[in-house]
Amino acid sequence: MKFLESSSFEALNSALSQETGQYRLQVRVESYSCKMGGRDDKKLYKIMNAEPGSSRDLQALSPPQSITSHSISPAKNFSRSQSISDEGESSGPLCDTISRKTLFYLIATLNASFPDYDFGNTSSLEFSREPSINFVMNAVDGMFLSSAVHSSFARLRGQLWSAIDSEINFPTVDIYSYNPDLNSDPFGEEGCIWGFNYFFYNRKLKRIVYFWARCLSNLDEIDGNDQTSMSDEAFGSYMDLDGDDY
């Protein structure tokens, strides 16, 4: 994946990444072209598509965590989708699927954004397709507005979403989220209280905007009760969201 420089994204990243007493918020909005970024990308693509025609093989995704029913098994409902995209991907009420090609783009984006980590073994079930742009905007807004930087985010909210829309064109994107296992990636580091990962993928532009954030604790030692309390506070208003537009 080729990183695309954006002065507006860099300004937003700098303004939203703040340290406030006990907490440190890291925020990145990054744009990538879906072109091979070098030897590592080519190696990963070859590994993921070793079998002839496998780039169009469908892989099961997990339902979005916030709307998942515990009675639904992604693997069992692999074929029960309602629509199929031009790359063979499908979406439906029970389970979404993704082509190996698109899955490669998502994993390669993670590798490019976090060069110190190797996401080559990441499963498709660690990704979800999000239902709508309004759903994602409400989720992100709720997370930030319940955090210590809520006032700064409130001032920058319109500028943030406008900049992403200008780069990727919301009406024509597929949106994916990454829900890591927290054992082998940056979001599993000690002191990480919460985080999110969203990929806005425009097929025609062959471009991905990757938007991630994580909140870290500055405290050296946090006992279990304190960590639970802080996590509940940080996620409070986010969990109350009903998915409606503001």
pLDDT per residue over 34-75, tens digit each? 987 677 777 887 777 766 555 567 889 998 865 543 333 333
C-alpha to C-alpha distance for 225 and 98, rounded to whole angstroms: 39
Min mean pLDDT across 132-136, 167-171, 186-190, 207-211 is at: 186-190
Q: Does 76 fall in a domain?
A: yes
Q: Does 246 fall in a domain?
A: no
pLDDT score at 34: 93
Q: Does 208 fall in a domain?
A: yes
Using left for φ > 0, alpha for ψ between -120 and 50, and beta otherwise, residue 169 falls in left
pLDDT score at 243: 37
Q: Which is more confidently placed, 21 or 69?
A: 21
pLDDT score at 149: 73
pLDDT per residue over 191-243, tens digit each? 788 889 999 999 999 999 999 998 888 874 444 444 444 444 443 333 333 33
Within a 10 A sphere around the Cβ of 146, how many other Cβ atoms?
19
Q: Does 244 fall in a domain?
A: no
| Run of H or E residues at 234 | helix 224-239
| Residue 155 reports pLDDT greater than 50 | yes
| Residue 103 reports pLDDT greater than 80 | yes
Q: Does 142 fall in a domain?
A: yes
What's the DSSP call for residue 1? -
Q: Does 106 fall in a domain?
A: yes
- Which segments of 99-223 does DSSP mark as H helices, in order? 100-113, 133-145, 150-168
Question: What does pLDDT average to over the chain?
Answer: 77
pLDDT score at 197: 94
Closest CA to 69 of 89, 90, 93, 92: 93
**What's the chain's length in residues?**
246
Give me the phi and psi of 207, to 5 degrees please. -145, 150
- pLDDT category at 182 given cuts 50, 70, 90 is low
pLDDT score at 147: 75
- pLDDT category at 121 given cuts 50, 70, 90 is confident
Q: Which of 76-80, 90-94, 177-181, 210-214 has the highest mean pLDDT?
A: 210-214
| Residue 93 reports pLDDT greater than 90 | no
State the sign of the Cα–Cα–Cα–Cα dihedral 91, 94, 99, 102.
positive
pLDDT score at 180: 80
**Domain extent for 202:** 2-239
Instruction: Please give the average per-residue pLDDT across 96-103, as a whole number.
Output: 90
Look up the CATH number of the domain holding residue 99: 3.40.1000.50
pLDDT score at 21: 77
The total of structural domains in the chain comes to: 1
Yes or no: say if 215 and 194 are a contact pair by the CB < 8 Å rule: yes
This prediction's pTM: 0.76
Q: Does 176 fall in a domain?
A: yes
